[in-house]
Amino acid sequence: MFVKELDLKRSKVVVVPESTDDLYRLSLILERDDLVYAWTLRTLRISDGLTERRGERVKAYIGIRLEKVEFQEFSEKLRVHGVVIEAPDFLHAQGSHHTHIIEPGKEVLIVKKSRFKRYQLKLLEERGRNWALILSVGEDETAISVLRDQGVEVLLTIHRSKGDIKTSIRERYYDYLSEVARKSLEILSRRELGVETLIVASTPLLLKWFREELNRTVLPQVRGKGYTIYEVEVSEGGIAGVYELLRSGKVQKLFRNLRIVFF
């Protein structure tokens, strides 16, 4: 969150959210009856004295008294609903309802109804980050998820084909684990995710086999790029393994400041 201006005496702050996580933090800072100002689009209403019709949408700087905030996990928008308290006269919007759509990169002026609380100031200081990529490798399913401030998002799942029962168990898992390694490498290379940590969670035997695959295909590609890799044992993989990992508290031990906010 980029804080352009902070006036504690007037309980006023100008911020520019830089990520989806910043939008989430902003939703925790905002409270009912706060004043929120931003550039927005508003539909003109044209009247001839007898009838009224909707005109074009114009850009205007509008202030509202906040009534409700809507944040959807992993969305790129924060919806701030309220009653217009300040707007250009030609809009005739005073007293009507309006919704600010806040996105990363959009400047917002907030005037709090009361003094900033300590936790709100702390949220303003924090910057968004993606904590880790979680590979939860199970016998029949792997879930690849990204762990963020706002929670866990499952990016994709990979299912193992049964294969030829005449082959050894190790051979039946070879193609499956190779695909998991390949997909994880593709995701790690996505710069917009900003992930620097990889957590591999699996059962003891699969963890051993997948470690061999990582050493063969992934590590040569990421070596020297600052990635940290952790291995954690779970009773099962896939999506169930992700939630087992989070509920166990093992991830929180790796990241001391991590808050799991959705349980």
Question: With contact defined as beta carbons under 8 Å apart, do 23 and 150 qualify?
Answer: no
Question: With contact defined as beta carbons under 8 Å apart, do 27 and 78 qualify?
Answer: yes
* CATH number (domain holding residue 45): 2.30.30.870
CA–CA distance, 195 with 201 (Å, rounded to integer): 17
Question: Could you identify the residue written with the tokens 């989430």?
Answer: 24
Question: With contact defined as beta carbons under 8 Å apart, do 129 and 113 qualify?
Answer: no
Question: With contact defined as beta carbons under 8 Å apart, do 79 and 23 qualify?
Answer: no
- Exposure class string for 90-117: b at 16+ Cβ within 10 A, else e: ebebeeeebebebebebebbbebeeebe
Task: Pick the range with the lowest mean pLDDT from 3-7, 106-110, 122-126, 164-168.
Answer: 164-168
Task: Give the alpha-carbon dihedral of 218, 222, 223, 228, to 10 degrees.
Answer: -90
Asked if residue 152 has pLDDT above 50, the reply is: yes
* CATH number (domain holding residue 135): 3.30.420.60
Number of separate domains in the chain: 2
> Are 166 and 81 in the same domain?
no
pLDDT digits (tens, 9 = 90+) for 56-112: 889 999 999 999 999 977 678 999 999 999 999 989 899 999 999 999 899 999 999
Task: Give the alpha-carbon dihedral of 29, 34, 35, 39, to 10 degrees.
Answer: 40
**Would you state the pLDDT for residue 89?**
92
CA–CA distance, 16 with 189 (Å, rounded to integer): 27
Enter the pTM of the model. 0.60
Distance between terminal CA atoms of the chain? Answer: 25
**Would you state the pLDDT for residue 67?**
98
pLDDT digits (tens, 9 = 90+) for 235-255: 999 999 999 988 888 777 776
Residue 215 structural domain:
130-254
> Are 137 and 85 in the same domain?
no
Long-range contact list for 248-251, CB < 8 A, 24+ apart?
A: 251/132, 251/134, 251/147, 251/199
CA–CA distance, 78 with 82 (Å, rounded to integer): 13
Question: What are 50's two structure tokens?
Answer: 């007898």
Give the domain-ending residue among 94, 125, 156. 125
Q: What is the mean pLDDT of residues 40-65?
A: 82
CA–CA distance, 143 with 157 (Å, rounded to integer): 4
> Are 204 and 243 in the same domain?
yes
Question: With contact defined as beta carbons under 8 Å apart, do 133 and 117 qualify?
Answer: no
Give the domain-ending residue among 125, 144, 163. 125
Give the domain-ending residue among 86, 106, 125. 125
